[in-house]
Homo-oligomer: A and B are copies of this chain.
Amino acid sequence: MQGKVLSMTGVKNVEIKEFELPRVENGQILIEVLKSNICGSDIHMWEGKHVFKNHVLGHEMVGRIHTLGEGVATDYAGEEIKEGDRICPVYYLTCQRCKACLDGNFNVCTHGSDYMGQYADVYPHFTGAFASHYLIQPNQYFYKVPNNIPDDIVAGANCGISQMYYAIDEINMPSNAVVIVQGAGGLGLFSSAISDSKGANVIVIDSVASRLEQSKKFGAKNTINMKDFPSKEERLEEILRLTCGKEPDIVIDVTGYPPALDEAIRMTKIGGTILELGSVSIDEDQCCTIVPGLIVRKCLTIRGVLRYQPWYLHKTLQWLSKYHDQYDFANLTDKCYSLAEGQLALTKAANKEVARAIIDPQKDIDLGDPVKWAKNLYVDHCCTCPAAR
């Protein structure tokens, strides 16, 4: 049986390639990808800014078990699994042998992306989420998805939501904390929702009114539009006004804009904590200028967090199961594409014509199958995508 993957073929170019589905060896699982999200890093790769080339794009996904390899009886929470079950894999592997793993920091495993980075043409081909199928490796964590979370929502669980959930658990957020979120993108919305679910008073800063509006549906008590408060000083003043003079306990920088760290340093209270998650590029020009004396004089803690410990995907799924309809996760993604529309979807996403695009790799596949056919009727109004309702 054949499957399809959306492979990088050049800068800003992806193409569908078809391959025979791989053998499912001991310890492996082959899933049908139900939904996969376009993440900022996918766009980054598509634009040729990443070392990975010619690989299958996509890593945020939810799938349905197609074939279970020998010896796989449960997920990584010990739950029994069978074909047809909906599961969500951690998108990176852990080598358990690199210097990061040697300290138990599996989230930063230096070989974590080897699998997702391999060429589409190389067996086993199904190594990315923008594909009809995906092959989960032995020792790659995955979890059953709680029944009440829709596909569209859970597709993003294994990346930004888990990262943010892990990051917030890593610091000891004080009760009744004032939390500033810099940037109302996906990570910003997640940090707002998770912090709010822990009783924090969340203020989100961004320069796009619609994003700020959305953040209010993700737990933000207040928002600050940088257009209204163009300088750092004005923004800090507005924060103090909103909090009756209480300086931020925690600032979460998820802008992806390096100079935001400088502002975070200036906003955070004495003895406070900055979670730095947004900036992932290590290009020398992705830099910012800071005054280290402020870190000293304010006794700040700055904590960088990449990815998440694999078992945190399970905790995140539990949290989503409880909170996904309390926050506006249902409207997080705004447009759904078929795999065949992948190039279009990436172009639109890169041009910010859609905020968060989702791919449904089953949309245009196997029309002969009646079940799939029925599904295909939803082409124009796929499941929970708001654009489709």
Contacts and interface: CB of A to CB of B under 8 A. Distances in A.
A276 B296 contact: yes
B197 A176 contact: yes
A273 to B, nearest CB: 10
Contact of A299 (B101, B102, B305): B305
Nearest to A171: B172
A289 interface: yes
Interface stretch (A31-39, A57-65, A103-111, A339-347): A103-111
Contacts of A367: none
Contacts of A309: 104
A: interface residue count bin? 35 or more
A74 B97 contact: yes
Which of A102, A105, A277 gathers most chain B CB within 10 Å? A102
Contact of A288 (B98, B100, B290): B290
Interface in A167-205: 168-169, 171-172, 174-176, 194, 197-199
B286 A291 contact: yes
11 contacts: A99-B270, A103-B270, A105-B270, A108-B299, A176-B319, A279-B295, A280-B297, A289-B289, A295-B304, A299-B303, A302-B302
B288 A284 contact: no
A1 interface: no
A193 to B, nearest CB: 11
A77 interface: yes
A314 interface: yes
A99 B269 CA distance: 8
A119 interface: no
Contacts of A246: 318
A46 interface: no
A300 B304 contact: yes
Closest 7 CB pairs of A and B: A295-B304, A279-B292, A172-B172, A296-B304, A302-B302, A105-B271, A282-B293
A306 interface: yes
A19 interface: no
B293 A297 contact: no
B315 A175 contact: yes
A376 interface: no
Contacts of A107: 299
Interface in A86-142: 95-105, 107-108, 110, 139, 141
A361 interface: no
Nearest to A296: B304
Nearest to A246: B318
Interface in A245-279: 246-247, 253, 258, 261, 269-271, 276-279
B305 A296 contact: yes
A3 to B, nearest CB: 26
A291 B199 contact: no
Interface in A296-333: 296-306, 309, 311, 314-315, 318-319, 322
A196 to B, nearest CB: 9
